[in-house]
Amino acid sequence: MELNNLKPAAGAKHAKRRVGRGIGSGLGKTAGRGHKGQTSRAGGFHKVGFEGGQMPLQRRLPKRGFVSLTRARNVEIRLSDLERLPVGEVDLLVLQQAGVVPGDALSAKVILSGKLTKKIVLKGVGATKGARAAIEAAGGSVVAE
């Protein structure tokens, strides 16, 4: 193989569709746009969901529910993640520096998953009932700030 022999794979390149170039092309006359109507004309287009001026379905239906913008920034941590940390006192900053939670996390909560054998003090980090019991059983504590 030499540089002057390089070619794209078969079927990787194909000719651009040339519309409005006569009957023989198969796309002459109306150029694949059909007859009359908004979409056949230059500049004729409508927004997604547009229903010809009728109130669109999306606007006819009532708004419902709530989407929290901070939900993705509240992180869950396993007990096994805490086990791997080299420090005894754990807060959100320590977790961020260790890479356990992302840097933009707003809050963290420990859940009962995995085992914890060493003593750990949680500061400003939440814990579920089961996780709190496991931490206290290992000799640690949970301090709410």
The pTM (predicted TM-score) of the whole model is: 0.58
Joined together, the tokens standing for residue 72 give 């993705």
> Rounded CA gap, 65 and 63, in Å?
7
Query: Residue 59 pLDDT > 80, yes or no?
Result: yes
CA distances from 86 to 44, 52, 95, 97 (A): 64, 64, 11, 12
CATH topology for the 72-143 domain:
Ribosomal Protein L15; Chain: K; domain 2 (3.100.10)
> Residue 119 in contact with residue 109, Cβ under 8 Å?
no
Query: Residue 145 pLDDT > 80, yes or no?
Result: no
pLDDT-based confidence at residue 46 (cuts at 50, 70, 90): confident
In the chain, what percentage of residues exceed pLDDT 70?
Answer: 99
Average pLDDT over residues 100-124: 93
Mind listing the pLDDT tens digit for each residue in 13-28? 999 999 999 999 999 9
The domain limits of the chain are 72-143
CA atoms within 13 A on the CB side of 50: 8
